[in-house]
Structure 1
Amino acid sequence: MGIDIIWLLPIHPIGITNRKGSLGSPYSIKDFRAINPEYGTMNDFHRLVSEIHRLGMKLMIDIVYRHTSHDCSWVKEHPEWYIRDEKDNAICLIPQWTDILDLKFEGNETTLWPELIDILKFWCEHGVDGFRMDVASCVPMEFWRQARRSVTEANPRCIWLAESSWFSAMKSYRDQNGLVHTDAELYETFDVCYDYDLYVAWRAAVQEAIPIKSYLELVRLQTFIYPKDFIKMRFVENHDQDRIAHICRDNPWKALAWTGHLRLIKY
């Protein structure tokens, strides 16, 4: 199948307080150094890592550093690590995300930042080959610079994948004076960025709302605005978007054709 990297969504224990539904969201993390017991133990994880490496593949895990669950130990041990409202309550800046609380990077450079970096090094020591950084564009670039330098000492070949932002999301963040970085900025420390800057155009091309030629012209434009060696993670679907089978439900051959096409254009 040509698969050489396996990427796991968050593997950590999920918070109980304000949990969404009976299962909760794996992006509402209670303990960043532990394995969700529903998935197994650390020994199970080690066996998985060993088998992946034996088969000549690499393992990446999801890292969620923009927020934690409500019952993460940091909420009580380090309340200053969280964004707070005028009543001094820890909050999430996106109201509908009721199961999480947002971390505050500004002012916590000597306390929170080293803890987050140590967690990355911890997982490198347990055999992880790379990280997919959730909402990477909304975390300060200086943190990513420090993290990259430190992790490189532990694993010089570590792979860094950034979940970058849609244009509409970037505008929304900036309209609220929020922090959000462009893909061009993220490439300073990341090896790969999501292709969200073209996802809307790609979806429009798939659904024949715009000519394919218009989409390909935007792909070509990327070569002028990003570093020479840039890599884009192009996709037909992910866990946040509709399945390609749904998008192309009237023509399954179109789904197959687009899957092959994205594999052939510049990453």
Structure 2
Amino acid sequence: MKKILITLIATGILISCGQTKKESPIANVETTNEERQELAPIDEAVMENAVIYEANIRQYSEEGSFNAFTKDIPILKKLGVKVLWLMPIYPISTTKSKGTLGSYYAISDYTKVNPEFGTLDDFRRLVKTAHDNEIYVILDWVANHTGWDHVWLKERPEYYTKDKDGNITHTVDTDWTDVADLNYDNKEMREQMRNDMLYWLKEENIDGFRCDVAGMVPVDFWNKTVAELKKVKPIFMLAEGWEPELLENAFDMGYGWDTHHKMNDIAKGKADAKEWDKRMTQIDSMYAKDDILMNFTSNHDENSWNGTVRERMGDASELFAALSYVTPGMPLIYSGQEYDMEKRLLFFEKDTIIKKEGVFFPLYEKLGQLKNNNPALHGGKNAASYTRIKTSNDNNILAFLREKNNHKVVFIANMTNEPLKFSLDYKGKFKDYLSGELYESIPKDTQSLDGWKYRILIQE
């Protein structure tokens, strides 16, 4: 889903969420706390060079289970993934549900796992396997609403928003009819929500949360809640939102929605490299220096409701995948992108990602290695600098320098579908990271790039 200023994705951001119980389902635990191999708590150093992966457990495999996904976690490590974001893993409400299986975001119990995916022990094995592979796990948290089966509907109706006739209602100005809107004027509800989040930190050893439609929940709730969560251990907090106030205290990272929209527009010929420059200037003016934005060419909303990367970006898909890694911020891979997925995954039904390596797996592997290991691509709270390099055709050629601790990476891209000649106002000798070829840039010398082609240059 998108955030306020960005106009809700009308197509069907039917993604609902919910909350629930206080009971801690701890029976018959196979992986005890003592058996866990401890991974150092997440810190700012991890945020600098991390790749984040959004896991759609239902659609990732034919089985649609925790166990099937867990087997592939070592593959994610090969891709440079350091943060694993699990789409909601909780039981799904069946009352007023959409489709056959319902939305992951219409939650009936906040402290249990969806039996469709497996057991709590299966989930614990997933977390342990991720930690053993030095990958942190964050859970998708839906604080704005619950499914209509949630126990609060019967036991705590005062927790919910009501219309003028006193009826509990779904979130206003949305088509999220499968969820009931929560009333944040109720202090008891806030406390229970906070306790349910604490359960996953204290009992299940997770490392933070991605918070659904975070801008629709009061900022003061997030600020107080995250402060309480951090008393347990350091965590990573991702807001599904772009509002700078979310990043002031509670959240480490927000969505780069406008960056993503700019990529789509350029790919469709509706914008050019100058528009990208304007977006970079906007980021500098809107956000604090230590704010992090997530860069992406797809996610669960974009894929299901707005189309595949190929549909939206066409032949520019590879260029924008690379750009999402080399521009400031943290790059996201959505389930299936590493396998060149070219279909819109069903949202309320079972679907399956076909895991066959093509163009993008080796590309993401190379980009992940560069992101993990070169300080010039740091994109966290102490990010590498970003400097636009002047060219003879700034409307169509994007060129910039990333630099930190004497490490330099230069990115050059033709942001059109036509071959272009140009000169670069930058002198240096480089190694082309993807081809391995040596490359020299001399001001005023003519260079050329075919349509949608790019270079990632490591300065020697």
Are residues 1:57 and 2:135 paired?
yes
Once the two structures are TM-superposed, the CA of residue 234 in structure 1 deviates from its matched residue by 0.9
CA RMSD of aligned residues (A): 1.2
Rounded to whole Å, the distance in 1 between the matches of 2:163 and 2:286 is: 38
Are residues 1:233 and 2:310 paired?
no
Which has the larger Rg?
Answer: 2
Same amino acid, percent of matched pairs: 32
Rounded to whole Å, the distance in 2 between the matches of 1:17 and 1:94 is: 21
Once the two structures are TM-superposed, the CA of residue 86 in structure 1 deviates from its matched residue by 1.4
* Corresponding residue of 1:173: none
Picking from 217, 220, 223, the partner of 2:284 is 223
Are residues 1:243 and 2:308 paired?
yes
The alpha-carbon distance between structure 1 residues 29 and 247, as it changes in their structure 2 partners (threshold 3 A), is same
Rounded to whole Å, the distance in 1 between the matches of 2:130 and 2:96 is: 35
Show the 5 A alignment for 1:6-155.
6-92=84-170, 93-106=172-185, 108-109=186-187, 111-125=188-202, 126-155=204-233
Query: How many residues align structurally?
Result: 244
TM-score (norm 1): 0.88
Partner SS, residue 187 of structure 1:
helix
Q: Which has the higher contact order (CA 8 A, sep 6+)?
A: 2
Are residues 1:201 and 2:287 paired?
no
Tell me which stretches of 4 or more aligned residues in structure 1 moved more than 6 Å. Answer: none
Once the two structures are TM-superposed, the CA of residue 79 in structure 1 deviates from its matched residue by 0.4
Give the strand-richer structure, 1 or 2.
2
The alpha-carbon distance between structure 1 residues 144 and 32, as it changes in their structure 2 partners (threshold 3 A), is same
Rounded to whole Å, the distance in 1 between the matches of 2:182 and 2:108 is: 13
AA aligned opposite 1:265: T
Give per-residue Cα distances to partners, 1:114-143, cap 9 Å, x unaligned.
111111111112011110000000111110
* Corresponding residue of 2:241: 164
Picking from 247, 253, 261, the partner of 1:187 is 247
Partner SS, residue 185 of structure 1:
helix
Rounded to whole Å, the distance in 2 between the matches of 1:45 and 1:63 is: 16
Give per-residue Cα distances to partners, 1:19-40, cap 9 Å, x unaligned.
1010100000000000000111
Partner SS, residue 328 of structure 2:
coil
Decide whether the 8 Å contact of 2:259 with 2:295 is kept in 1.
Answer: no
Partner SS, residue 19 of structure 1:
coil
Rounded to whole Å, the distance in 2 between the matches of 1:207 and 1:124 is: 43
Give per-residue Cα distances to partners, 1:24-68, cap 9 Å, x unaligned.
000000000000001111111111111100011111110000000
* Corresponding residue of 1:210: 271
The alpha-carbon distance between structure 1 residues 257 and 95, as it changes in their structure 2 partners (threshold 3 A), is closer
Rounded to whole Å, the distance in 2 between the matches of 1:61 and 1:21 is: 24
* Corresponding residue of 2:17: none
AA aligned opposite 1:234: N
* Corresponding residue of 2:328: 266
Once the two structures are TM-superposed, the CA of residue 95 in structure 1 deviates from its matched residue by 4.8
Rounded to whole Å, the distance in 1 between the matches of 2:173 and 2:130 is: 37
Partner SS, residue 300 of structure 2:
coil
TM-score (norm 2): 0.52
* Structure 1 gap segments, 5+ residues each: 166-182
Rounded to whole Å, the distance in 1 between the matches of 2:93 and 2:84 is: 25
AA aligned opposite 1:244: V
AA aligned opposite 2:247: Y
Give the helix-richer structure, 1 or 2.
1
Once the two structures are TM-superposed, the CA of residue 248 in structure 1 deviates from its matched residue by 2.7
Partner SS, residue 105 of structure 1:
coil
